[in-house]
A and B are shown apart, each in its own frame.
Chain A
């Protein structure tokens, strides 16, 4: 059997060695990190105590409260955050056919930040108490989508990848400028919460938010998986995709909406998290040695979950009990990836 047929017969598990091995390993590692994230913390418990607390959730005990109200939501949020941001990055890289885009690079995270700052720092939303739990999520989505529309409008005029990158950076600066003005004008009490949010952390997730993320995010990921066929066609560019039968207009809207929704959902609670959306798709391509989105979509979810879980563990434990900002840790491994990609011209989309 030729190698071409091997790589193509993605649905025969006997032939499909590489992806199966990779999925198993990644899944195993992610599970290990999940356990570590639950087991390790600034307050140390014995494994038996944690085990006990997991299976007998009594919020009245210290162990139970810490495990169920702090550690498990945070560990789950890290997994969801990594999966969503990475998927969002993959969608954007396929859409722009450019290897150095991601929700953070294109200014989409900053767009979300501006809208969240409006909600958190001003009194615009006073009185809208019914919506308040989801206010930041909705605001983040609107902000992300607004910036995305601007970037898409510019990208349709210029095809150059570097220009697109600069446009994204400029959008980031503009959004940052608006945010700083709002911060300067805001009341002191509100500023602290916002600044902490802006540093990026998976610590603030409540169970209700995680429920919404699992439900909505799960639906969106399912939808994205069903988009993998047109996504594959899109690798040849819009014109070829259209000639093969992709309904470009509908597909374009779907891809951008889902990418913004996934990135916005995470940004609204965890704050802007840098580089995950950019670097993880490349790591997944290297691991799976394919551009086939039917493999890459679940692939980036796993790799993303793994990376953010690891980063979160480092952020919490490196200088424990002081917690480092998550974006700082992700930047430490993400920035070299970007520089490497720029230097290595051979990496193309």
Chain B
């Protein structure tokens, strides 16, 4: 059963919920039948005293999976994790860990199955990293917490698993954020859990440690068979590491299943109420849609030659039209995410007259034309036609074409060669001054002009 909270609902979210209702069976049964469930929620409602934050949760986490919890800030990710780790009592519903009701397990029994990594800032004084990680042996040691040979081995194994062997003798309170996060994960591992809950494990980490920590967590699933449930902010990272994703928003589980199915472009945009940004499913990344109206650029691209140029132009406030692109081209996905006008041709087909005609209409209203220096083959001969047309009309073309890919173009054409992006940018700044100089019309008029 799904409850709908009284808060206003995003249309995309609604359709996703409908889909989730229909798909929950088909999407999840395959796996859950074969692998035993380590964590089960039935009709779970989580929240604080009188305020439900998330309700109607039905989830089954299979052993050895990496599950990401995605959703905007305040959607209840942390509340759900705190309830699953029994730091909060559920408002309603039922949780079972490894087949046993959560509320009937003793603290020790739970600690032997589940470990947590929280966002709480902790800095116990005068602790070496080794001693800190050894605290994770708590459920396995005797009444005084003495460490036996097996315990020392488990601690060393945990440190090795997070690539932190060299940190062992360091003082815990002196660690950097990234090193500290690795030590926290190692402490949880030393507990030898079957289920690991992490709240924002990559928060405050630099890129190196973000990638490293996610890699470590994925390895834990693959090699140790540990189930990892992590709340994450980075959709792109989640899409790449997770076996399952759970999307939460506005008090409900919006969707749940494989990221390859669930994380469609529109679902992600709806989840975070993207405004001026777009998530591309295939690229697995977020692009910031251009909002400027500095000038109108037509980009002749293809075969990946345009992706970086699109981003640069979008960042500098240019409106873009691009073509002719095949619909399987990387350039096509990037340009579409950035909100460029794409003139496209179905994949594996030579560029036809319809596409050329459309491209010419766009070219006519553009302030600058850029040639990305795409490689030429039988399928994109049309783009050379376009270049010829532009040059014949006396319009200058800014060209990034590298040596070795020269084309037989009219000698009188106005080609401005740019050796790299910096030169291209300089040429653009010269032609279309940054603020208001061109007086370009805003976006809709560009369409109307065509």
Q: Which A residues are within 8 Å of any B CB, using their own CB?
A: 2-5, 7-11, 226, 228-229, 232-233, 235-237, 239-240, 242-248, 285, 289-292, 294, 347-349
The residues in B between 111 and 159 inclusive whose CB is less than 8 angstroms from any CB of A are 111-112, 114-116, 118, 120, 122-131, 134-136, 138-139, 141, 143-147, 152
B152's contact among A3, A5, A236, by CB below 8 Å, is which?
A: A5
A3–B169 contact, CB under 8 A? yes
Instruction: Tell me the bound Cα distance from A73 to B185 in angstroms.
Output: 53
| Chain B residues in 8 Å Cβ range of A228 | 144-145
Could you give, for residues 242-279 of chain B, a 1 whenever the CB lies within 8 Å of some chain A CB and a 0 otherwise?
A: 00000000000000000000000000000000000000
A292's contact among B85, B131, B141, by CB below 8 Å, is which?
A: B131
| Chain B residues in 8 Å Cβ range of A236 | 122, 124, 135
A286: nearest chain-B partner, CB-CB: B126
Could you give, for residues 38-75 of chain B, a 1 whenever the CB lies within 8 Å of some chain A CB and a 0 otherwise?
A: 00000000000000000000000000000000000000
Cβ-based interface call for B349 (8 A): no
B169's contact among A2, A9, A11, by CB below 8 Å, is which?
A: A2
B120–A232 contact, CB under 8 A? no
Question: Taking A226-B144, A244-B111, A245-B110 as contacts, is the C-beta distance between A285 and B125 under 8 angstroms?
Answer: yes
A247: nearest chain-B partner, CB-CB: B107
* Min CB–CB distance B175 → chain A (angstroms): 14
Question: Taking A243-B85, A245-B112 as contacts, is the C-beta distance between A348 and B169 under 8 angstroms?
Answer: no
| Chain B residues in 8 Å Cβ range of A226 | 143-144
B118–A4 contact, CB under 8 A? no
Question: Told that A4-B168, A239-B116, A242-B86 touch, could you supply 12 new A-B pairs with CB distance under 8 A?
Answer: A4-B131, A5-B130, A5-B152, A240-B118, A243-B111, A244-B111, A244-B135, A245-B107, A245-B112, A291-B125, A347-B125, A348-B173
B143–A3 contact, CB under 8 A? no
A-B contact pairs, 21 of them (CB 8 A): A2-B169, A4-B169, A228-B144, A229-B141, A232-B145, A235-B127, A240-B122, A242-B87, A242-B107, A244-B135, A244-B138, A245-B110, A245-B138, A245-B139, A247-B107, A285-B125, A289-B126, A291-B127, A292-B131, A294-B145, A349-B125
| Chain A residues in 8 Å Cβ range of B112 | 245
How many A-B pairs have beta carbons closer than 8 Å: the answer is 99
B139's contact among A2, A9, A244, A348, by CB below 8 Å, is which?
A: A244
| Chain B residues in 8 Å Cβ range of A233 | 135, 138
A229–B130 contact, CB under 8 A? no
| Chain A residues in 8 Å Cβ range of B87 | 239, 242-243
Q: Which B residues are within 8 Å of any A CB, using their own CB?
A: 85-87, 106-108, 110-112, 114-116, 118, 120, 122-131, 134-136, 138-139, 141, 143-147, 152, 168-169, 173, 191
| Chain A residues in 8 Å Cβ range of B143 | 226, 229
Question: Taking A236-B135, A245-B111 as contacts, is the C-beta distance between A4 and B128 under 8 angstroms?
Answer: yes
A237–B168 contact, CB under 8 A? no
Instruction: Tell me the bound Cα distance from A243 to B88 in angstroms.
Output: 12
B124's contact among A239, A247, A291, by CB below 8 Å, is which?
A: A291
| Chain B residues in 8 Å Cβ range of A8 | 130-131, 134, 147, 152
| Chain A residues in 8 Å Cβ range of B136 | 244
| Chain B residues in 8 Å Cβ range of A290 | 126
| Chain A residues in 8 Å Cβ range of B118 | 239-240
* Min CB–CB distance B48 → chain A (angstroms): 15
Question: Taking A232-B145, A235-B124, A291-B125 as contacts, is the C-beta distance between A243 and B116 under 8 angstroms?
Answer: yes
A233: nearest chain-B partner, CB-CB: B138
B131–A7 contact, CB under 8 A? yes
A239–B120 contact, CB under 8 A? yes
Instruction: Tell me the bound Cα distance from A9 to B155 in angstroms.
Output: 13
| Chain A residues in 8 Å Cβ range of B111 | 243-245
| Chain A residues in 8 Å Cβ range of B135 | 232-233, 235-236, 244
A11's contact among B114, B115, B138, B146, by CB below 8 Å, is which?
A: B146
Instruction: Tell me the bound Cα distance from A228 to B112 in angstroms.
Output: 20
Instruction: Tell me the bound Cα distance from A248 to B111 in angstroms.
Output: 13
| Chain A residues in 8 Å Cβ range of B145 | 228-229, 232, 294
Question: Taking A226-B144, A244-B191, A245-B110 as contacts, is the C-beta distance between A285 and B122 under 8 angstroms?
Answer: no
Instruction: Tell me the bound Cα distance from A7 to B124 in angstroms.
Output: 16
Instruction: Tell me the bound Cα distance from A347 to B123 in angstroms.
Output: 10
B168–A2 contact, CB under 8 A? yes
B108: nearest chain-A partner, CB-CB: A245
Instruction: Tell me the bound Cα distance from A10 to B173 in angstroms.
Output: 21
Instruction: Tell me the bound Cα distance from A180 to B329 in angstroms.
Output: 86
| Chain A residues in 8 Å Cβ range of B144 | 226, 228-229, 294
| Chain A residues in 8 Å Cβ range of B130 | 2, 4-5, 7-8
* Min CB–CB distance A200 → chain B (angstroms): 30
* Min CB–CB distance B140 → chain A (angstroms): 9
A294: nearest chain-B partner, CB-CB: B144
Instruction: Tell me the bound Cα distance from A289 to B123 in angstroms.
Output: 15
